[in-house]
Amino acid sequence: MSKPSAWHTLVGLGFGVAGASKLLAVRPQAELFESWGWPKQSMQVIGAAELVGALLLVTGRTQKVGAALLTTTSGCVLQHEIAHGDDELVTPRAAMLLAAASGFLGGGRAHAATPESPSAPVPTPKP
């Protein structure tokens, strides 16, 4: 299993905290979702998706799946923030969406072939 980058660990931590606050129905989250007309269960589903996505993002083999889940979830929430005129939330959410999407780009360092790895080209001895 490849080790996640510090960046993806930080992004995962941020989404994990955000997801937990929705899953636990922390008052500011509950009030926001209520103002959109969403039931508590919808908020908790998004929170659970953010928590699962965060865990997947920081696990090398599932990083892209986590990125897809977090990007989709953030896109859905961003759409509602824009539609409901929550302008002060749009920029942070857009930044979270871009941070989640960075999971599609990750893994280059962790997956690069090293001389010790079986995927590295084996030098051919010259006669």
The count of C-alpha atoms lying within 13 angstroms of the C-alpha of 1, restricted to the half-sphere facing its C-beta, is 10
Query: What residue spans define the domains of the chain?
Result: 6-103
pLDDT in tens, 76-114: 999 999 999 999 999 999 999 999 999 998 654 444 444
Q: Give the separation between CA 116 and CA 119, rounded to whole angstroms.
A: 9
Which pLDDT band, with edges at 50, 70 and 90, does 116 fall under?
low
The secondary element (H helix, E strand) that includes residue 117 is: none
Of all residues in the chain, the percent with pLDDT exceeding 70 is 82
Average pLDDT, the chain: 87
Contact predicate 33/42, CB 8 Å: yes
